[in-house]
Amino acid sequence: MKQHSHHVYITDFGHVSQHSIFLKIAGFDAEKAQEFTGEVRILNGYLYGDLIHRERTELSESCRAFIECRLLTKYENGDFR
C-alpha cells in the first residue's frame, strides 16, 4: 500500500507592504487524508493565520508544522520577492 505524504502548493501571493506577504495555499494533509485550502500571512518573517495556528487549525499537527517549515524556508530563500 502506498504511503502518502504532506503537500503544500502556493496558488497565489501578494505583497501588502515591504514586510507583509499574503499567500493563498492548497495541499494535502496525509495524516487526515484530506485536501485543504487557505490563506496565511508572513509578517516580518513570522507566519499568521488560522490554517497554521496551533489551536485553530483543522490540520494535523504534523501537516501544520510541515506547512510552517516549507513556507518559512521559501520566504528565507527569497522566493516571494
For the chain, the domains span 1-51
- pLDDT recorded at residue 52: 95
In sequence order, the 6+-apart residues with CB closer than 8 A to the CB of 63 are 6, 27, 29, 30, 31, 32, 36
**pTM assigned to the model:** 0.89
Each residue's pLDDT tens digit in the chain (81 positions)? Answer: 456 899 999 999 999 888 899 999 999 999 999 999 999 999 999 999 999 999 999 999 999 999 999 999 999 999 988
